[in-house]
Amino acid sequence: MTSATHRSAERIGRTEQGPRPLPGLAEPRQGWQPETVDTVLDNGLRVIAARHGSVPMVELRLRIPFAGDDPKHPARAEVLAETLLTGTDRRDRIRMDTDLAAVGGTLQATVDPERLSITGDALASGTDTLLDVLNDALTGASYPEHEVSGERDRLVERIAVARSQPRVIAREELQSHRYGDHPFAREVPQSADVAQVTAADVRELHRSAVLPRGSTLVLVGDIDPQRTVETVSRVLSGWNSENSAREVPALPPVEGGNVRLVHREGAVQSQLRFSAQAVPRTDERYPALQIANLIFGGYFSSRLVENIREDKGYTYGAHSAFEFTPGNGTILVDADTASEVTAAALMEIRYEFGRLALNPPKEPEVESARQYAIGGLLTSTSSQSGLASMLIGLAAVGLGQEWLAGHPERLRSVTVDQIAEAARWYMPTAFTGVIVGDANQLSDQLRGLGGVTLP
Amino acid sequence: MVEPQPHRVTLPNGLRVVLAPNAEPGSTEPGGPPVVGISVHYDVGFRSEPQGRTGFAHLFEHLMFQGSESLEKLAHFRHVQGSGGIFNGSTHQDYTDYFQVLPSNALERGLFLEADRMRAPRLTEENLRNQVDVVKEEIRLNVLNRPYGGFPWILLPPVLYSSFANAHNGYGDFTDLERATVDDCAAFFDTFYAPGNAVLTITGDIDVEHATELVDKHFGDVPARSVPERPSFTEPLLESEQRDKQQDPHAPLPAVALGYRLPDPVAELDSYLANVVLGEVLSDGDASRLQQRLVYRDSLVVDVQAGAGLMGAPLDARDPDTFTVTAVHSPEVSTDRVVEAIDSELDRLATEGPTSEELSRVTARWSAGLYRDHDRLISRTLDLGSTELLHGRAELVGELPGRVGAITTEDVASAAKALRPETRAVLEIEPTGDSDGGAA
């Protein structure tokens, strides 16, 4: 097509010397542990500070448990997150952004049924400014009327954009399918509820729910951990309450059952989403389950990806991952496939559930997944942002740096038998789920396959 | 902070090698986390695809993972991941990259994997048909089944550009993808995947001397092949504003994209960087011009973004490159009102330039963003590799904060002045589906 005299594909794939042996691995260099301080301040805020990374930056993560049972809570929480950084007595929205920018900084707030998250970064030399702006918002957010009304109107439109995304539709349907009307299922607020939120509602929610006790602040970067904790303690000393931030109520166990088909008009591809009950990260069976999950669909070299992507070409990506909440863990499996092959993909996914549970992995599969799990900890925490995100995720379930440091050893000591046992969590009947797609194209194939509730 | 100078070696077969260790030579400090980054950038992207083969460069990228003389299909994934590493590849306008991040004890294995497929990839009918299906699923996922799919990177170029190279869809039409043959793959490989047409980058926990020995050992006997002369893709500027409208059955709100031509990123780098700064002044953060005017003051749009680079990042292509402004807006607001408001903010900047506070805000945040990016080994590796390939100087990565810091108010004013309506493209997205996005 481009070169006039090119070699044939067959000729390209051969050299005189022939195939060469794969080089072995060198001795691993031991990972060093970042110097870390993990402490609880007088106001109940847990602070984790770690010295890490090769650039003069600091990463900030704040997790405030932020559950609420009121059906209007998600709308109020969403407006609060959108307007938390839009004004205080000391700074208007522009001043806030300008002060942060002067130290190369950013801050943003997002909310979900479990937590209010504030994420930020800045030049390490600007840590004090970053914390000062954060404190200003936590203790002095004023929620100006015009900002609340402006964000409220934009939110209604942003929610429409969000709900047009197939992955958002699929997540929302899966949540209500497995958890009914439990508050954890209310991820995207209703537009009608958002339209009614007032500045007074948001101020009241801030007073009652933006609390240090039970919350965690993580700072990772080119910083002195001890001095950083002292700075946090000083800067955030005005953030106080006797009450504790509110954790999401315990989730009911996920029960296996039919997959529910959800119609999306004109879809050319279907979202397949499955879930089953698993164990919390703190459970002693977790390391074995982690390796079993990698083998199932948790990385590219997994049975599921090799089957439905690399063998059959049904999907661009298939994944299996855990979702952890305090005291709980579930398995989430996803793949998106063309309408024509949706039922065939469903059949293969069910087949792989059964195969893992009944035909458990042998040594080579286990070793590959084990090395990936150990190496993955190293690569994902080798950056400041990666380590910060890891630490805040662990903090949510009560863990810290010492768990992280000890996890490679836990993974190394898992036996093939323990993994075979963990694989039983993948029994096909343990799973339920949803398929979002064009029912006009899917109903017949899925009816034939069974185990699917049609619209 | 000044980034350490990267080391550079060129092998007799033409392969250029960039090495950027964590630790300075002679340093007694530990080299940070025991992790290495490896990338190979080939000097071919979707602009080099021939007519009738749209999407071929990206399809070929998929095939480079499907086995080589020494490795069966699937072995590449298994060996990288089974060593504790991650991998991927991506196709851009002017280059295609392949990368791995691995625990540093797997450095030699990672180099072997890249060398083996540079020397002798296994291009088969079965793998080609399989990956055509996978790529079609990728396009359904990212374009056909998604609201605003391909906006603006696929939809804007045909309005702004007239040559096939610049205007066509880099993801490809299904009919073109299905027509691709194994012999097309062989021709593409022989033409563009010569060692002299590639840059190998190695970063992180490495010793330069040892890494260089390993490079020689594994890449040294990849035979040299001729390297194609790179054509210029430049074309004349538009002489009048061009407009087009696309219907989107999944989008709930209308959207608009403006496309302008940028100064040559290589030959006129400082003028190009003035546009990078302009993009930040326009839309980075709550205090930026377009956020303030279009989002907060006039409530015209839900979201607005402006900046250099068609694919969402600056310095990612050679000439011609695109400055884009995109906005999603309410149905009650006309496209013209959005465009007029953007024009009036550009006019103000062209006349007065940004304030010195705006300039320092932007440059501080931009430099910090670069540091932050480069703390991720994968970003650092890819940036050094693409900069070496496109500019011939990986060192430029370390010089950028200084050069961006030297951009003046007048430079930004000139950049704003050059974004004239008569040379731009305007693409509108018109929602045609249910207002709830179609979910019943």
pLDDT digits (tens, 9 = 90+) for A3-39: 668 999 999 999 999 999 999 999 888 767 899 999 9
Backbone angles phi, psi at B81, to 5 degrees: -70, -35
User: Is the previous residue joined to A144 through a cis bond, with omega within 30 degrees of 0?
Assistant: no
Rounded distance between C-alpha atoms, residue A18 and residue A126, angstroms: 57
Pair of tokens at residue A296: 């199932």
Pair of tokens at residue B87: 């991998």
Measured between alpha carbons, how far is residue B390 from residues A202, B42, B198, B216, B317 in Å?
50, 11, 11, 24, 7
- Residue position matching structure tokens 């809570």: A73
pLDDT of chain B, 440 residues: tens digit per residue: 446 689 999 999 999 999 999 866 555 455 578 999 999 999 999 999 999 999 999 999 999 999 999 999 999 999 999 999 999 999 999 999 999 999 999 999 999 999 999 999 999 999 999 999 999 999 999 999 999 999 999 999 999 999 999 999 999 999 999 999 999 999 999 999 999 999 999 999 999 999 999 999 999 999 999 999 999 999 999 999 999 999 999 999 999 999 999 999 999 999 999 999 999 999 999 999 999 999 999 999 999 999 999 988 999 999 999 999 999 999 999 999 999 999 999 999 999 999 999 999 999 999 999 999 999 999 999 999 999 999 999 999 999 999 999 999 999 999 999 999 999 999 999 999 754 443 33
CB pairs under 8 A between A and B: 315
- Residue position matching structure tokens 């990123």: B265
* Contact assignment for B137 to A382 by CB distance below 8 Å: no
Q: How many CB atoms lie within 10 A of CB A418?
A: 18
Which helix H or strand E contains A109, and what residues bound it? Answer: strand A106-111
The interface pTM score, or ipTM, of the predicted complex is 0.94
How large is the C-alpha radius of gyration of chain A? 25
- Residue position matching structure tokens 């936590």: A138
Kindly list the residues from chain B whose CB atom is less than 8 angstroms away from the CB atom of residue A53.
32, 375
Q: Is A237 in contact with A139 (CB distance < 8 Å)? A: no
**A143: phi > 0 → left, psi -120 to 50 → alpha, else beta; which?**
left
In terms of DSSP bridges, do strands A259-263 and B255-261 run parallel, antiparallel, or are they unpaired?
A: unpaired
DSSP letters, A156-193, are: HHHHHHHHTSHHHHHHHHHHHHHHTT-GGG--S--HHH
CA distance B316 to chain A (A): 23
Count the residues in chain B. Answer: 440
Strand order in the sheet with A106-111: A36-40, A46-51, A216-221, A57-65, A115-123, A106-111
**B187: phi > 0 → left, psi -120 to 50 → alpha, else beta; which?**
alpha
Rounded distance between C-alpha atoms, residue B268 and residue B274, angstroms: 10
Question: B327 Cβ partners below 8 Å, 6+ apart?
Answer: B255, B256, B294, B300, B301, B303, B304, B305, B338, B342
Q: Is A401 in contact with A52 (CB distance < 8 Å)? A: no
Rounded distance between C-alpha atoms, residue A190 and residue A178, angstroms: 19
Chain B CA closest to residue A24:
B109
Rounded distance between C-alpha atoms, residue A369 and residue A373, angstroms: 6
Question: B43 Cβ partners below 8 Å, 6+ apart?
Answer: B94, B95, B192, B197, B198, B199, B227, B230, B389
Strand order in the sheet with B255-261: B242-248, B425-431, B255-261, B322-329, B301-308
A35: exposed, middle or buried (Cβ count in 10 Å: 0-12, 13-18, 19+) = middle
Alpha-helix runs per DSSP H in B70-143: 75-82, 107-119, 125-139
Residue B28 is predicted with a pLDDT of: 46
Kindly list the residues from chain B whose CB atom is less than 8 angstroms away from the CB atom of residue A21.
70
CA distance A338 to chain B (A): 7
**∠ CA B246-B304-B354 to the nearest 5 degrees?**
130
Rounded distance between C-alpha atoms, residue B16 and residue B27, angstroms: 26
pLDDT tens digits along A132-190: 999 999 999 999 999 999 999 999 999 999 999 999 999 999 999 999 999 999 999 99
**∠ CA A215-A216-A217 to the nearest 5 degrees?**
130
Backbone angles phi, psi at A164, to 5 degrees: -90, -10
Measured between alpha carbons, how far is residue B292 from residues A124, A245, A275, B303 in Å?
28, 34, 43, 11
Reference B147, options B226, B248, B290, B73; nearest CA is B248
Residue A4 is predicted with a pLDDT of: 64
Rounded distance between C-alpha atoms, residue A180 and residue A279, angstroms: 21
Q: At what angle do helices A363-380 and A384-396 cross, to 10 degrees?
A: 110
Reference B439, options A448, A404, A173; nearest CA is A173
Kindly list the residues from chain A whose CB atom is less than 8 angstroms away from the CB atom of residue B328.
157, 161
Q: Is B192 in contact with B44 (CB distance < 8 Å)? A: yes
Rounded distance between C-alpha atoms, residue A117 and residue A216, angstroms: 10
Q: How many CB atoms lie within 10 A of CB B193?
A: 23
Instruction: Please write down the HEC assignment for all residues of A414-448.
Output: CCHHHHHHHHHHHCHHHCEEEEEECHHHHHHHHHH
Interface test with B, best of A164, A175, A222, A270 (most B CBs within 10 A): A164
CA distance B163 to chain A (A): 18
Rounded distance between C-alpha atoms, residue A419 and residue A294, angstroms: 11
Q: Is A144 in contact with B296 (CB distance < 8 Å)? A: no
* Contact assignment for A55 to B302 by CB distance below 8 Å: no
* Contact assignment for A309 to B134 by CB distance below 8 Å: yes
Residue B1 is predicted with a pLDDT of: 44
Residue A77 is predicted with a pLDDT of: 98
* Contact assignment for A150 to B434 by CB distance below 8 Å: no
Kindly list the residues from chain B whose CB atom is less than 8 angstroms away from the CB atom of residue A266.
249-250, 433, 438
Measured between alpha carbons, how far is residue B84 from residues A25, A303, A363 in Å?
11, 17, 16
Q: How many CB atoms lie within 10 A of CB A406?
A: 11
B410: exposed, middle or buried (Cβ count in 10 Å: 0-12, 13-18, 19+) = exposed
- Residue position matching structure tokens 């009816």: A447
Which helix H or strand E contains A275, and what residues bound it? Answer: strand A269-277
B265: exposed, middle or buried (Cβ count in 10 Å: 0-12, 13-18, 19+) = buried
Question: A246 Cβ partners below 8 Å, 6+ apart?
Answer: A65, A66, A67, A68, A209, A214
Q: At what angle do helices A401-413 and A384-396 cross, to 10 degrees?
A: 90
Residue A28 is predicted with a pLDDT of: 86
pLDDT of chain A, 455 residues: tens digit per residue: 666 689 999 999 999 999 999 999 998 887 678 999 999 999 999 999 999 988 999 999 999 999 999 999 999 999 999 999 999 999 999 999 999 999 999 999 999 999 999 999 999 999 999 999 999 999 999 999 999 999 999 999 999 999 999 999 999 999 999 999 999 999 999 999 999 999 999 999 999 999 999 999 999 999 999 999 999 999 999 999 999 999 999 999 999 999 999 999 999 999 999 999 999 999 999 999 999 999 999 999 999 999 999 999 999 999 999 999 989 999 999 999 999 999 999 999 999 999 999 998 999 999 999 999 999 999 999 999 999 999 999 999 999 999 999 999 999 999 999 999 999 999 999 999 999 999 999 999 999 999 999 99
Residue B436 is predicted with a pLDDT of: 46
Kindly list the residues from chain A whose CB atom is less than 8 angstroms away from the CB atom of residue B247.
none
* Contact assignment for B185 to A379 by CB distance below 8 Å: no
Chain B CA closest to residue A52:
B32
Kindly list the residues from chain A whose CB atom is less than 8 angstroms away from the CB atom of residue B381.
none
3-state secondary structure of A48: strand
Rounded distance between C-alpha atoms, residue B36 and residue B104, angstroms: 5
Question: B196 Cβ partners below 8 Å, 6+ apart?
Answer: B13, B14, B15, B224, B225, B226, B227
Rounded distance between C-alpha atoms, residue B262 and residue B274, angstroms: 10
Q: Is A32 in contact with A52 (CB distance < 8 Å)? A: no
Using CA atoms in the order A130, A134, A139, A141, what is the torsion angle rounded to 10 degrees?
A: 120
Reference B10, options B157, B231, B216; nearest CA is B216
Residue B435 is predicted with a pLDDT of: 45
Q: Which amino acid is at B349?
A: L
Count the residues in chain A. Answer: 455
CA distance A43 to chain B (A): 31
To the nearest whole number, what is the mean pLDDT of chain A?
Answer: 96
CA distance A151 to chain B (A): 9
pTM of the full predicted structure? Answer: 0.95
Rounded distance between C-alpha atoms, residue A143 and residue A79, angstroms: 10
Of B70, B186, B438, the CB nearest to A266: B438
* Contact assignment for A310 to B74 by CB distance below 8 Å: yes
Rounded distance between C-alpha atoms, residue A402 and residue A382, angstroms: 16
